[in-house]
Amino acid sequence: MFEAEIAQSSLDTESENLVRHYADRRYVILDSVMDNFEAAATDIIDGLEVAKRKQNNPQVATWYQDRIQDAWVFQETVKKLALAPKVLSLLRLLYRREPIPFQTLNFWRGTEQTTHSDTIHFNSFPSDLCAGSG
């Protein structure tokens, strides 16, 4: 069935490769998610370091020792990354639905977690329509 859908699609080679990789491995790696990514990453890190020192921003939903949830509320670059057209376009391609961004989670340091499921925290209906990035 998968091969038949691929054969009938009008996907370009890059998109087809992403779809096949995701179908086989359940993840993809996106390069060049947004213009000036390095500058954006620096802006996010610097902005969150300042916010971490203050930790009194009433707009922020939740602070944890190792991460901050929903920094997009006060950090515009986090929001731009979460809503990057390339990311949303890929989600539309993979899930064939309109994405609904609902949370950002920024870690102070990479967690280096092994592959795991966050379905204990949140999921979708129908199931298997959630995506995360790291």
Buried b (16+ CB within 10 A) or exposed e, 16-52: eebbeebeeeeebeeeeebeeeeebeebbeebbeebe
**Mean pLDDT for each consecutive 10-residue tract of the chain (134 residues)?**
90 93 90 90 89 65 78 92 94 92 84 64 68 69
> What is the pLDDT at residue 57?
59
Burial class (CB in 10 A: 0-12, 13-18, 19+), 111: exposed
How big is the CA angle at 22 (ends 18 and 16), to the nearest 5 degrees? 30
Using DSSP's 3-state secondary structure scheme, residue 99 falls into coil
- pTM assigned to the model: 0.79
Cα separation, 94 vs 12, in Å, equals: 14
Cα separation, 49 vs 23, in Å, equals: 37
> What is the pLDDT at residue 6?
92
> What is the pLDDT at residue 63?
72
> What is the pLDDT at residue 27?
87
Name the residue ranges covered by the structural domains of the chain: 1-30, 35-134
E strands of the chain, at which residues? 62-63, 67-69, 105-107
Contact, 105 vs 67, CB < 8 A? yes
